[in-house]
Each structure stands twice: as structure tokens, then as C-alpha cells.
Amino acid sequence: MNPALSRRALLSGAAGGAALLALAGCTSAVGAQNSGTVKKGGTFLGGISTDLVPANFFTNSNAGVTTIIGLVYESLIRYPVDRLRPEPRLAKDWTISPDGRTVTLHLRDDVTFHTGRPFTSADVAFSLRTYADPKWNGQLKSTAQAITSIDARDPHTAVLHLAHPLGNILDLLEIVPIVDEKTFAGVGDGSRYVGTGPFVFERWSPNSRLKFTKNPHYWVPGRPYLDAVDIAVITDATPLTSQLRSGQIDYAYGSSFLDIERLEKSGKYDTIQLRGAETQVYVGTNVTAEGLSDVRVRQAIAYALDRDRVIAEVFRGSGYTANLPWPKTSPAYDAKLNASYGRNVARAKSLLAEYGKPVPTLKYSYVGKDPLLAATAQIVQANLKEIGVTVALDPLDPPTFVAQLIGGKFPGLWTTYHSWAQYTPSTLTVSAYPFNALKNTSHYSSAAYTKDADTAWRQVAGDGVKAREAYAALSKDLLDGLFLIEIGVIEGRWAVSDRVKGVAYTKRSELVLTDAQLTA
């Protein structure tokens, strides 16, 4: 026997044995994650692609905020996701006076904040006033600012006095989370979130995770089922999906449509399609730009767009084409009007011929780091080339894009998303700046549009016959003016592993885990 070889073998064996012992002695990180999900109760593990931005608490603009609001807070009323029929939440019932200027809310008397303090009408007043404060940039702040006073003398009754009837007042009551005045300072820096909801906010580690525990004093008996919620911030879609597939997380908000499609096909994951919480993708136009100032050119663009291709290829069929902002769940949705501008290249060319002048090269701006918008822009560019309109793509980074959007600085076309059309239609025209009748990104103004937008907003009943007539007029204005050319209504998607049941969402894509359960 070769003694050198023997020693080497001995050393190798010892090293291998030591490594095996070390591995056996370690707790597996993968095993530890799974062991928390196999029992009822337990910890829900999720991942989101955008971290909390504390200053955006009332803007519903990122997954961090919507996760906190969905788990920790509650509003006065709640819409089911598929219709605008309000259901009681912190308000047991409510009445709107015949003149539409007074809203009386009767509140639950068995609700406490996570600090133990009882919820009262003073909290309603504080929450609505805070939401109306311009510094929080709440999307419905103009509606909140139309509340002239709030009578909170009875702790269980809140009476709102309005400057004029507000057809979307119930939207406001559905959207505004009821916050705790005593601890509200912590909201601004992300240190404290105190609500009345099923989960208590524990901790936020920037760029890393959000942690919540069960609210043992939640007013809904027996809920929530889960003991805790742990949400990791995973800012890139690829690792987010990888962590879902590896079993580290059971829920992903921010995976690409393509990845979700693949996950669904594997049979191990469920897809939650956010129907009722839609966003819209559109082509915006600067109506003061040469060429675009003529509505026939804008109509030609609308006819040229291959919306079916965008929805099928870019959004993997998770949505449907649209000519108007309204989703199918909206009281303003009209299938016939929504098909006004089907793809018709010949018609588009004839409209350009009627225009009679060459359309100069149009700059086309979008957020370059968003692959969906980039792909949409390329399809639109190809569509417009077919009708002889040349487009120069202009990918921008998000802050530059938003600065140009709000400043009305786009020289030609742009593409992005908008939301808020899933609510009462007047909410869109008073909350989304691109649709604002008085001042908007497109520099579009029309006396009829301004009048009809205001009429829709001032309805006593947002779903009444008169209101529907006002919405029809609004739709006609949007199709006639065509300053924003809709491409489609997009239904977002969440991927959830088959270990989790009962995951729900609100109309603002907020995560709801009140009835969620983990299964083996």
C-alpha cells in the first residue's frame, strides 16, 4: 500500500465527513421556509416588486403601500371587486340626503385600533381631512376637499356636509383608510402603521421586508386565520419568480405576465386575475404638436393601432382591447362605443389623405425600463409606419417621464398606464391628470368635455339614470376629442402557490388575507 495515497485518502475522507456533518448539523434555509407553511395558522410568505414609499401612503401607487393598507387598515365601506355596490365595513349603514349635500354614516361600535383605542367618528373626520391635505397627494383629494364640514359629535355617527353633490363620494369612502390620529406621525417615516384591520404592522426594513402579526382583537370573529405575514421586497421580476418557484415565498406581486403564464401551466400555482382592479394602457397625444393638432390624424392613429396584438403578445391575453377607458365592470362601459376604432389601415390612410399634409416625424416617449411599455411602443411604431407616419422612439427613465407627463412636455406621443376608471366614472376625470378637463398633459381643452366632466361629478347618485346619461356624454367627448387613444384594459395578475388558499384583493389591488389559509 502506498502510504502517501493512504494519507491523502484519509484526509479527503475526513474532510468529506466533516462537511457532511456540518451540513447535517445545519438547519436548511429552504426547509425552514417550508416548515412555516405546512400548518394551519402559520406565516404567509410573499414577495412584492416595489418597496414601500412612506410619502405615498394615500396614493395607492406601489405594492408596499397597497400591501400595508390591505392588511392593516380598513375603510368605511367596501365595493366588491366586480361592481360598484357598496357594502358595510367600518360604517354599518349610510344615507345620502335627497339634495346630495349630506352623507350620514352610522359606525360600528365594536372596533378598536391596534393600540386598543376605540374607533369613533373623530377618526373618520381626521382621516378624511388628512386625505384632503395636498401634501399627501391623495388621488381623490378634490372630492375630499369638497367636504365642507364633518359633524362628529356622536362618536358612532359621522355627518359629512358637502359643497355640492358628489357622484363619487362613495368611492372616496371606499378608498380612504381610517387612520389613528395618535400615531399618524409614524406613517410619514414608515415607522408606525396603526389601523383597525386584521393584521398589526410589526416592522419595515427598507429594501428588504415588511412584517405583520395577527390582530388578536379583530372585530370579525375567528379572523384572520394566519398568525403572521412576511413580505419580502424583491425588486427584479426574475428573482421574484425564482423565489416563488423555489418555495421561499407563496405569493408574488410583480412577476412578468409571461412567467405567470408558465407558472400556471406547471399546475403548481394559481393565478389571481385582478378583475375589477384594472389599469389601462394608452397612447397620449400632444394636441398642439404639428400634425397631431388635427383630429383626423389622431383618428388615423386610433384606426392604425393593432390592439389585439398588444394584448395578446405583450400582456399575454390578460385584458381586452379598448377605445374608452372604462372596464367592463364600469357603469359607463358600452360595448358598441368601445369598438369605435377597430383596426382599419385603409380608413387610417384615407383620413391622412383628407388631412392632406405630411405628418412630421413624431417623438414617442415611454418608460424604457418597463419591458411591457417598450414592447407596446415598438408595436405602435410598426402600426404607424404602415400608414406612413414615422415615429422616433424616446425611452425615458421613470422620473423624467413623470416630469414630462405632469409638465405637459411631451413633444408628440407617449404611452403609459392610467387607473381609476374601475370606479365611478367621474372619479377618473377628477383624479387622473391626463384626463383632467381644465388642464392636462395633452393641452386639450373642450367646453363640452369640461361641462360634461363637471356634470358627471356633481350627480347625487353615481349610479343613477342621470349619471349614466352624463357618463355617455363623457364617453362621446373622449371619442370625439381623442386626445388619449386607449389601447386596452389590463387585468394584473398575481401568482400564488397551491399551498395558499383564500388570497383576495380590493379594487386598488390591495392584498387581503383576512380569509387566507395555509394548507399542507
CB of 47 to other proteins, least distance (A): 8
Which of 17, 93, 403, 501 binds other proteins (CB under 8 A)? It is 403
Residue 439 near other proteins by CB under 8 A: yes
Q: Write the binding mask 9 to 28 for other proteins: x where contact by CB under 8 A, - elsewhere.
A: ----------------xxxx
SS3 327: coil
Give the CA distances from residue 171 to residues 276, 279, 418, in Å, rounded to whole numbers and listed in that order.
14, 17, 17
Q: Write the binding mask 54 to 93 for other proteins: x where contact by CB under 8 A, - elsewhere.
A: xxx--x-x--------------------------------
CB of 134 to other proteins, least distance (A): 4
Residue 137 near other proteins by CB under 8 A: yes
Residue 139 near other proteins by CB under 8 A: yes
Residue 51 near other proteins by CB under 8 A: yes
3-state secondary structure 433-475: HHHCCCCCCCCCCCHHHHHHHHHHHCCCCCCCHHHHHHHHHHH
Residue 488 near other proteins by CB under 8 A: no
**Other beta carbons within 10 Å of 145:** 16
Pairing between β-strand 493-497 and β-strand 269-273 as defined by DSSP bridges:
antiparallel
SS3 497: strand
Closer by beta carbon to other proteins, 28 or else 149:
28
Which of 441, 440, 454, 455 lies closest to 411, judged by CA? 441
Bridge partners of 212? Answer: 201, 229
Residue 361 near other proteins by CB under 8 A: no
Residue 286 near other proteins by CB under 8 A: no
* Cell numbers linked to 482: 381623442
Closer by beta carbon to other proteins, 257 or else 435:
435
CB of 341 to other proteins, least distance (A): 23
Got the DSSP string for 80-132?
A: -TTS---EESSEEEEEE-TTS-EEEEEEPSS-B-TTSPBP-HHHHHHHHHHHH
Q: Write the binding mask 196 to 235 for other proteins: x where contact by CB under 8 A, - elsewhere.
A: --------xxxxxx--------------------x-xxxx
CB of 251 to other proteins, least distance (A): 14
Which of 470, 437, 442, 422 lies closest to 325, judged by CA? 422
Closer by beta carbon to other proteins, 128 or else 432:
432
Closer by beta carbon to other proteins, 218 or else 401:
401
Distance CA(198)–CA(210), nearest Å, equals: 15
Residue 402 near other proteins by CB under 8 A: yes
Give the CA distances from residue 250 to residues 97, 206, 247, in Å, rounded to whole numbers and listed in that order.
46, 21, 7
Residue 405 near other proteins by CB under 8 A: yes
Give the E-state strand segments of 98-222 in sequence order: 102-107, 147-151, 157-162, 199-205, 209-214
Residue 33 near other proteins by CB under 8 A: yes
Which of 300, 40, 258, 58 lies closest to 172, judged by CA? 58
- Report the Cα–Cα distance between both ends of the chain, in Å, rounded: 55
| Helix axis angle, 465-481 to 447-457, nearest 10° | 150
Total chain residues near other proteins (CB under 8 A): 68
Residue 35 near other proteins by CB under 8 A: no
Judged by CB under 8 A, which stretch of 244-252, 291-299, 356-364, 476-484 contacts other proteins? 244-252
Closer by beta carbon to other proteins, 76 or else 405:
405
Residue 39 near other proteins by CB under 8 A: no
Binding residues for other proteins, rule: CB under 8 A, are 25-30, 32-33, 45, 51-56, 59, 61, 134-135, 137, 139, 141, 189-191, 204-209, 230, 232-236, 238-240, 242-243, 245-248, 397-407, 416-420, 431-434, 436, 439
